[in-house]
């Protein structure tokens, strides 16, 4: 059964994938700032170590390519020791490799699915037993507005993010009896290195008229992890209205 008690931030024992920068980095800052112990993982040791060092002795960095099952086992062993158990996973590592349905390189399609979907699966597969052993906890899988609608020019990315959204619901049902909530996060365009190539026209096309900031996403993740005690399998959207609808020109009268 899922308990109704909010998690105290200082009780959080959190593993973050892709946490050296961007949204993952902001979540590390937000939750470590509230007293959580955090293991930041990524494939960017210089950035990850610098971030962890800046957040104090309760935060550490470890290398983790999310597509590597052996690396997951190694890192979770370290997490168990350093954090004193694991009760939360921010399954965030991801890539966007541009390509339309006919224009996508086959290797890029496979790589996208490998990191964005298989990596998220491996995270749940390896971490959920530890969270269960800790008495329960929470998993947040990072999907996207691209997991709620289509976008031209990023076929593999859209496929991976819809799959994460669906897999989240299956996992939520599997893990509810272990007191583990599993939710998907759906950011719209957020200012990070991933969106560095997108310009002002993308911002102008959003109902809110701007990119989101990583801290705005991190505050949503804080709520999901600590307070959303009656939510599992659910979609949490932080997108400036991107999936709300389109603003169409009105007919001339
Ligand atoms: N920025 C946005 O607009 C946006 C919108 C919706 C969803 N997202 C999702 O948010 C997540 C974080 O993206 P971001 O915007 O912070 O981008 P980012 O590029 O700053 O962060 C992604 C992180 O994942 C890491 N990573 C890549 N491949 C990896 C691998 N094989 N193993 C481990 N780590 C790996 C990168 O090193 C990087 O630190 C991604 O899943 C992305 O798809 C981002």
Q: What is the pLDDT of residues 27-54, one digit of tens each?
A: 999 999 999 999 999 999 999 999 999 9
153 φψ region: left (φ > 0), alpha (ψ -120 to 50), beta (else)? left
Summarised one tens digit per residue, pLDDT across range 163-202 is 999 999 999 999 999 999 999 999 999 999 999 999 989 9
Instruction: Provide the pLDDT for residue 104.
Output: 98
Pocket-testing residue among 17, 91, 93, ligand 1, by greatest number of atoms within 8 A of Cβ: 93
Shortest-distance Cα residue to atom 39 of ligand 1: 18
Domain ranges for the chain: 9-238
Residue showing tokens 């299956």: 170
CA of 246 to the centre of ligand 1 (A): 26
* pLDDT-derived band at 249, boundaries 50, 70, 90: confident
Q: Which ligand 1 atom minimizes the distance to the CA of 26?
A: 16
pLDDT of 245 reads 87
Ligand 1 center from residue 94 Cα (angstroms): 4
Q: Is 189 in the pocket of ligand 1 (CB under 6 A)?
A: yes
- Is residue 165 in contact with ligand 1, taking CB distance under 6 Å? no
Q: Which residue from 40, 44, 94, 111 has its CB within 8 A of the most atoms of ligand 1, so it is best to mutate?
A: 94
Q: Is 154 in the pocket of ligand 1 (CB under 6 A)?
A: no
Mean pLDDT of 110-124: 98
What pLDDT does residue 59 have?
98
Catalytic residues: 157
Name the average pLDDT for the chain. Answer: 97
Q: Is the pLDDT of residue 18 over 90?
A: yes
Q: Under CATH, which architecture does the 9-238 domain have?
A: 3-Layer(aba) Sandwich (3.40)
How large a percentage of the chain has pLDDT more than 70? 100
Q: Distance, CA 18 to ligand 1 centroid (Å)?
A: 6
The phi, psi pair for 212, rounded to 5°, reads: -85, 160
Which whole number is the average pLDDT over 230-238? 98
The pLDDT of residue 204 is 86
Q: What is the mean pLDDT of residues 64-68?
A: 99
Q: Could you tell me the pTM of the whole model?
A: 0.98
Would you place residue 247 in the very low, low, confident or very high pLDDT band (cuts 50, 70, 90)?
A: confident
Higher pLDDT, 200 or 224: 224
pLDDT of 154 strictly over 80: yes
Q: If residue 158 lies in a helix (H) or strand (E), which one and from where to where?
A: helix 155-175
Closest atom of ligand 1 to 24 CA is: 16
Q: How far is the CA of 178 from the centre of ligand 1 (A)?
A: 28
Per-residue pLDDT, 248: 83
Residue 94: the pLDDT is 98
Q: What pLDDT, on the 0 to 100 scale, is given for residue 149?
A: 97
Model confidence band, residue 211 (pLDDT cutoffs 50, 70, 90): very high
44 lines ligand 1 (CB under 6 A): yes
Distances (CA, A) of 218 to 86, 96, 99, 159, 214: 20, 20, 29, 24, 6
Q: Is 252 helix (H, G, I), strand (E, B) or coil?
A: coil
Dihedral of alpha carbons 17, 93, 114, 193, sign: negative
């Amino acid at each position: 059964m899922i308990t109704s008690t909010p998690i105290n931030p200082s009780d959080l024992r959190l593993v973050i994938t892709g946490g050296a920068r961007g949204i993952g980095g902001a979540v590390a800052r937000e939750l470590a700032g509230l007293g959580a112990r955090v293991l930041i993982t990524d494939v960017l040791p210089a950035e990850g170590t610098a971030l962890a060092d800046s957040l104090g002795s309760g935060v550490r960095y470890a290398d983790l390519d999310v597509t590597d099952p052996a690396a997951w086992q190694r890192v979770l062993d370290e997490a168990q020791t350093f954090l004193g158990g694991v009760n939360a996973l921010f399954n965030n590592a991801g890539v966007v490799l541009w390509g339309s349905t006919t224009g996508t390189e086959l290797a890029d399609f496979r790589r996208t699915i490998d990191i964005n979907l298989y990596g998220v699966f491996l995270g749940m597969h390896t971490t959920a037993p530890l969270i269960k052993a800790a008495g329960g906890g929470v998993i947040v899988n990072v999907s996207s507005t691209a997991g709620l609608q289509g976008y031209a020019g990023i076929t593999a990315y859209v496929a991976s993010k819809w799959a994460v959204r669906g897999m989240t619901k299956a996992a939520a049902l599997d893990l509810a009896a272990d007191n583990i909530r599993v939710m998907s996060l759906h950011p719209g365009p957020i200012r990070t290195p991933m969106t560095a190539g997108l310009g002002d026209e993308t911002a102008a096309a959003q109902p809110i008229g701007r990119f989101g900031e990583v801290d705005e996403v991190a505050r949503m993740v804080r709520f999901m992890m600590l307070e959303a005690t009656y939510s599992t399998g659910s979609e949490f959207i932080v997108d400036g209205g991107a999936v709300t609808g389109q603003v169409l020109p009105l007919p001339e009268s």
